[in-house]
Amino acid sequence: MSVIKKFSSLPHPKTSNLLFGNLLQLRDAKINFFMENRKTIGNIYRLRIPGKKIIVVTQPEWVKYILVDNNKNYTKSFAYDSIKVFLGNGLLTSEGEFWKRQRRMAQPAFHKEKLQLMFQNMRTQIQKGVDVLEKNADTNKSINLSEILYKITLDVVNSTLFYNEVENTTNEIYNLVSKGNEYIIDRVNNPIRLPNWIQTPHRKKEQAVLKAMDDVFFGVIDRRLNKKEQHEDLLSMLMDARDEETGKGMSKRQLRDEILTIFIAGHETTQIALSWTLYLLSQNKDKRDLLYAEIDEKLEGATPTSQNIRSLHYLKQVIDESMRCFPPAWIVGRKTIEKDVINGYEIPEETNVIMPIYVVHHDEQIWENPNHFLPERFSFEHYKDQHKYAYFPFGGGPRLCIGNNFAIQEMQIALIMILQKFRIEINDDFIPELDPLVTLRPKNAMFAKVYKRK
Ligand code: HEM
């Protein structure tokens, strides 16, 4: 019979500070800290952080155990409390029966048939971005590619799920999301906080961001309520949904939380994935040529449709490999409800479990040459024997990203429409540094030159 080892016997990184334990290392080094620990400690260890029990798990078998097999024993980890301050109690942060009901209501908006109906609309929104690229093509001018892709993904979500009800405030939304991101991470990194009633300048700024978010999203609800015509979008589905038992609809506050969550989760991640994909293609010209060849041969210049994109296998491999290299949501976390046993160690109740997706995606024992961009590793012959949780950019189990197929479809259409026409060359002075906040944005704006393909 195997003996269950004590929690305190789990290995941990050397602490750099007596008072804060590993907190400062975590805050300052983020991804590097986790990557280093993978090399020097292993794929299951604990962190020493005052007032919190935290373990880090990067072994696919155990990731699956936590997200899928024993998911009932897990809620979301402490970091989501900080996200909650901004997004409220929407799908990403809610729990239990309440979450289940909300997910059931939102799920139909993402069914395959619904995604097919959105296809044309996605193309129309993406075309606007392609037009901007066209205007700048062959001018030798450097354009801010991140900004153009951001506008595309914002328009796609706004148009397909909210019938353009979020008013055209690209810059405002971008600034709000950026600030929200920073404040959330600041809260995660500085868990020891003054009580809410003490108004520091920082807290005032945070509240101003919250107020601006409320103004945008309560505005969306009010505009829709005042409209006569019907729209069959996610917004209407959520507004019309009634509780099976009470017959009551959602409160305005709950609606605000749900639409804000889906709006934010739905555009920033996809923009990041598209940015990194175009970066990787510009750095790996042999792979880009293979993709050009596939798109040209299979589509012969035709516009992408829900039928013809299915034959573009290499494109799908490129997208998968790009999200392996740069997973837009680079980390997920859970917390034990009751005590559990992981890898022979007793894990007490209320232990936070951090699963840095990025580290699993770059584990040398799982992936050969993990720092190389090799889309072929996702071909059927290569990938069939891989562990299902060696690659999990969309999370897994019941809390799997609701927008995974939406995002893939959008990326397929966008990449086809861009690559059919252009060669995008990211400027040589772009440094691919990571800015691992809630998402994995590039630290620096991505500037590029655009050339028409002859
Ligand atoms: C490349 C694009 C995307 C990536 C990489 C991504 C990644 C993720 C991940 C990793 C999770 C799980 C979080 C956890 O387990 O704690 C998640 C959840 C979620 N995502 Fe996405 N996402 C993407 C696109 C989208 C889109 C397009 C939408 C909506 C239009 C969306 C909406 C959501 C929502 C609402 C949740 C919470 C689901 C629940 O718990 O029921 N995401 N996403």
Instruction: Express each pLDDT in 357-367 by its tens digit.
Output: 999 999 999 99
| pLDDT above 90 as % of the chain | 65
Inter-residue contact 275 to 281 (CB < 8 Å): no
Is 17 among the domain residues?
A: yes
Atom from ligand 1 closest to the CA of residue 261:
35
Pocket of ligand 1 (CB under 6 A): 76, 91-92, 103, 157, 261-262, 265-266, 269-270, 273, 328-329, 332, 393-395, 399, 401-403, 406-407
39 Cβ neighbours under 8 A, 6+ residues apart = none
DSSP state of 42: -
Of 1-5, 143-147, 385-389, the range with the lowest mean pLDDT is 1-5
Is 150 among the domain residues?
A: yes
Of 85-99, 316-330, 426-440, the range with the lowest mean pLDDT is 426-440
- How much is the average pLDDT of 93-102? 94
Atom from ligand 1 closest to the CA of residue 406:
27
Using CA atoms, how far apart are residues 149 and 155, in angstroms rounded to an integer?
Answer: 10
Is 362 among the domain residues?
A: yes
Residue 1 binned pLDDT confidence (cut-offs 50, 70, 90)? low
**142 Cα–ligand 1 center, Å:** 32
* The pLDDT value given to residue 447: 97
pLDDT digits (tens, 9 = 90+) for 99-142: 999 999 889 889 999 999 999 999 999 999 999 999 999 999 99
**239 Cα–ligand 1 center, Å:** 21
* The pLDDT value given to residue 288: 98
Q: Whose CA is nearest to atom 15 of ligand 1?
A: 395
| pLDDT above 70 as % of the chain | 98
Q: Go through the chain and tell me how many residues it has.
A: 454
Inter-residue contact 278 to 425 (CB < 8 Å): no
Is 320 among the domain residues?
A: yes
Inter-residue contact 4 to 341 (CB < 8 Å): yes
Is 1 among the domain residues?
A: no
- How much is the average pLDDT of 131-157? 95
* Average pLDDT taken over every residue of the chain: 91
Confirm whether pTM is higher than 0.85. Answer: yes
Mutation probe of ligand 1 site: the residue of 358, 401, 402 with most atoms within 8 A of C-beta: 401
Domains in the chain, number = 1
**87 Cα–ligand 1 center, Å:** 13
Q: Whose CA is nearest to atom 37 of ligand 1?
A: 92
Using CA atoms, how far apart are residues 54 and 171, in angstroms rounded to an integer?
Answer: 37
* The pLDDT value given to residue 163: 83
Atom from ligand 1 closest to the CA of residue 400:
12
- How much is the average pLDDT of 91-95? 95
Q: Whose CA is nearest to atom 6 of ligand 1?
A: 394
* The pLDDT value given to residue 398: 97
Distance of CA 79 to CAs 76, 88, 210, 353, Å? 8, 13, 18, 11
Q: Whose CA is nearest to atom 9 of ligand 1?
A: 394
Is 2 among the domain residues?
A: no
Of 146-155, 311-320, 335-344, the range with the lowest mean pLDDT is 146-155
Residue 374 binned pLDDT confidence (cut-offs 50, 70, 90)? very high
**270 Cα–ligand 1 center, Å:** 10
Q: Residue 268: which H helix or E strand, with range?
A: helix 252-283
Is the pLDDT at 24 greater than 80? The verdict is no
pLDDT digits (tens, 9 = 90+) for 263-300: 889 998 999 999 999 999 999 999 999 999 999 999 99
CATH number at residue 303: 1.10.630.10
- How much is the average pLDDT of 309-321? 97
- How much is the average pLDDT of 18-42? 84
Atom from ligand 1 closest to the CA of residue 334:
16
CA torsion 375-263-155-316 (nearest 10°) is 10
Residue 29 binned pLDDT confidence (cut-offs 50, 70, 90)? low
CA torsion 177-181-184-187 (nearest 10°) is -130
Using CA atoms, how far apart are residues 322 and 316, in angstroms rounded to an integer?
Answer: 10
* The pLDDT value given to residue 191: 66
pLDDT digits (tens, 9 = 90+) for 49-60: 888 899 999 999
Domain holding 376, by residue range, is 7-452
Mutation probe of ligand 1 site: the residue of 98, 105, 160, 269 with most atoms within 8 A of C-beta: 269
Is the pLDDT at 169 greater than 70? The verdict is no
Is the pLDDT at 310 greater than 70? The verdict is yes
pLDDT digits (tens, 9 = 90+) for 198-251: 788 888 888 888 898 899 899 989 988 888 777 888 888 888 888 778 888 899
**391 Cα–ligand 1 center, Å:** 15
Using CA atoms, how far apart are residues 309 and 286, in angstroms rounded to an integer?
Answer: 22
Q: How buried is residue 452: exposed, middle or buried, by Cβ count under 10 Å (0-12/13-18/19+)?
A: exposed
**394 Cα–ligand 1 center, Å:** 6
Task: Return the higher-pLDDT residue of 196 and 315.
Answer: 315
Is 349 among the domain residues?
A: yes
Half-sphere exposure of 120 (CA within 13 A, CB side): 2
* The pLDDT value given to residue 229: 77
Q: Could you tell me which of 387, 376, 399, 403 has the C-alpha nearest to residue 320?
A: 376
* The pLDDT value given to residue 192: 67
Q: Whose CA is nearest to atom 30 of ligand 1?
A: 266
* The pLDDT value given to residue 200: 82
Inter-residue contact 169 to 209 (CB < 8 Å): no
- How much is the average pLDDT of 85-107? 92
* The pLDDT value given to residue 435: 80
Q: Residue 345: which H helix or E strand, with range?
A: strand 345-347
